[in-house]
Amino acid sequence: MVNSAVLSDTELTALLKEGDLQAFTNIYNRYWPPLFLHVRRMLSDDDQAQDVLQDMFGWLWQHKSELHFSSSLAAYLYTATRNRVFNRIKHEKVKTNRLEDIRLFMQKGSYEADEALRYKQLAAIVKSEVEKMPEKMRQIFELSRNQYMSHKEIAEMLNISEHTVRTQVQRALKILRNKLGVSHAVLLTIIAMMD
């Protein structure tokens, strides 16, 4: 039995693709400490840094047989981790912006039961319209709005261009705005309330 702790990244990657748990463990042990420091510097939060890395390494193991990258293992792991950090930051920013939109909406007048009911009705229409969308458009829209995935991530996941993803999301939003007769900001607020 070869001691995989002394193997190169290339050798470890090849073993990982074959489902070698020891190779995965060695990659994890080799890269967790520097990646943790890198993520902690970006997020300034140990718990969030650990969450990001757990997510990234979990994804790595689940998709081990599909791994294809032209650069080094280290570069791949740093890029994958950095993308997750950016998604987390984007997700937090989106949540903050949506909450601010809702707060501003509520300040414009008294937030009475009939307004809450109207939002529920609009949310039901949004859900219904999303379900009626062509399958690819619905899938892209849900990954973008519900999973907070970037256009690039969706494109890579579905093996399509970023332009296609952007176009599908824009078309989906236009369909919903036209159906509901509301502004873009109000539509995003309704979608946020559906989370």
* Residue 3 DSSP SS3: coil
The answer to whether residues 92 and 44 touch, using CB atoms and an 8 Å cutoff, is: no
Q: Are 191 and 173 in contact (CB under 8 A)?
A: no
pLDDT given for residue 122 in this prediction: 76
Instruction: Determine what percent of the chain is predicted with pLDDT higher than 70.
Output: 78
pLDDT at 167: 92
DSSP string for residues in 123-157: HHHHHHHHHHS-HHHHHHHHHHHTS---HHHHHHH
Give the pLDDT of residue 160.
Answer: 92
pTM: 0.47
- Phi and psi at 144, nearest 5°, equal -70, -50
Q: Mean pLDDT in each 10-residue stretch from start to end of the chain (195 residues)?
A: 70 89 91 90 85 89 83 86 84 66 59 63 80 89 80 89 90 82 69 65
Q: At what angle do helices 151-158 and 162-180 cross, to 10 degrees?
A: 110
Residue written as tokens 């997750």? 84
Q: Report d(CA 12, CA 87) in Å as an integer.
A: 28
In the chain the domains, ranked by start, together with CATH numbers, are: 4-88 (1.10.1740.10), 110-194 (1.10.10.10)
**Separation of alpha carbons 69 and 71, rounded Å:** 6
Buried b (16+ CB within 10 A) or exposed e, 133-166: beeebbebbebbbeebbbbebbbeeeeeeeeebe
Residues 6+ apart with CB under 8 A from 84: 52, 55, 56
**Cα 68 to the center of its chain, rounded Å:** 20
- What pLDDT, on a 0 to 100 scale, did the predictor assign at position 1? 45
